Structure 1
Amino acid sequence: TLFDAIEFNDEIACVDVFYDLAFLLMDLWRRQLHAHANLVLHAYLEDTGDIDGLALLPLFLSCRAAVRAKTSVVGLSGEADPALRADGAALGAEYTALAQRFLRPDRPRLVAIGGFSGTGKTSVARALAPGIGAPPGALVVRSDVIRKARHGVDAQVRLGAEAYTPAVSRAVYGTLVRQVAAVLQTGHAAVADAVFATAEARAAIEAVATDLGVPFTGLWLEAPESTLLARVAGRHGDASDADEAVVRSQVQADPGTLAWARLDAGGALPDLLARAWAVLARDTHA
């Protein structure tokens, strides 16, 4: 019976799980499924918390693409069909170029997305992430998810008022700041997703970028109160616990001076994303 001897040799078979994951990420990226690759990365990191592994991801992605490049051209010299030889050579060249691209990662940057509940922060963050920074895109660090993890519950489990005291919220934002810093220190881009309703919270996340010397863009999403109320009322299966009462409380509070780019989030998501990308492009070339 034939078998793969590698599977029975622990010294050979045991590799970094991130390296295995890189094969899927590389293939998705090559097929222009950038959002899918970013989603897979998030799912893996949410399950493992292996943020440090991001530092090796460009190398792992490049190695996986190089393997594909080699297997694409192996045996071409014995191929009698000129068309198949040409196709194999072209595919090998494509994977080689991709391997080289992965070794030239974009400079990390930090994007913070704030605004009251119902403005669409998470939708914007998820849509922007695949196009920010090195493949497979920025890592979104979300305060709602951190809060649920802090209390040891799944993201969809609703928390009581005791989970939203000022002391707990300060701790949640402190964790968010540390996680964002950890991501950026690996050379990877990050998107911070939180309300950022106070000048103190906004200053703290901006300070991360300043301290690490990476570009920062702050986006503040705004929409009419009626729109926010309708959106939170229609939520299902989301990590946010915000309801209509929370929205009314947020709207009545004073967020202080807003230096971030203020974007109208009251309309369709594609329009909001177009405005967000325009701000990011402006900051990139500033």
Structure 2
Amino acid sequence: MFKKLLIVNEQTPYDDLVMKFASTLKVFGAEEAILAKKNPLKVSAPLTESEELERTREELEHSGIHTRELALDQLPIEEINRLVSADELFESLIVIGAKVSSMGKRIFDSEFAYELIQMPSKPILVVRIHENPDGSHLTLPPAGLSLDSHVLFPTDFSENAHHAFLYLEKMVESGLKHVTLMHVQDIAKISPYLDYRIIEFNQIDRDRLEGLKKRLEEKGPVQVDVVLDVGRPFREIMYTIEKTHVDLVLLGRQGKGFLKDIFIGSTSNNLTRRAPASVLLIPRAERQKTE
């Protein structure tokens, strides 16, 4: 899976870290990386790179991932989607870095990643960037991903979540060793009128989680933990990420539209912006070419 990476280079201080992170995706089948770079003057103009970026590009090549560069005019979302829209299912992945966005600044965010996640035609990996007090940066996790990484899969058992689960199965087939499956009973939808059915709901959803666990265990030797909570989904998932030291959150999303996500919000959108971990977003099935 993920044979082709489209790495978005925004000319930020952490571009090299995003590229290093991308090099670790070799364990999940990465073979080719397109370095999409902002070129506001002329698409065909030559690109200049810092020595650090050039060294990182060489590291990508050395890891066995063939790289090529592509200059884009102001990194248009439409062009990025066009570059991967014809690829087969499971084949391509958009990779971009982003720092945590607070709720107060989300409407005015300058991070291109948070524009891009509104209209992805393919899975997008948002590499979480942490800024240290001295102004330096690191990725979360710092060493990138590996087969030992801890992946959290929160699910609402929707059709879109089931589609995203296919990607988790592929990762386990590749050798991923640790997964946590999580479902949160949304207290806002249960209380006060359905409180008396909470035990029934918990049993139904625990059986669903156990079914997903069995499917993963059939794909390879993997440790699968199951978490079933009642509360506010975003709050409970954030707590689990911090408590269990999650490296990657794998989420399905609807792609409801830019304005609706900003003003109404969604669990996947909020987690992508605020989780202290990298996030892999899988768009709904009908948005992807499956032929």
The TM-score, its normalising length taken from structure 2, stands at 0.31
Q: TM-score, normalised by structure 1?
A: 0.31
- Answer 1 or 2: which has greater strand percent: 2
Q: Give 1 or 2 for the bigger CA radius of gyration.
A: 1
Q: Which has the higher helix share?
A: 1
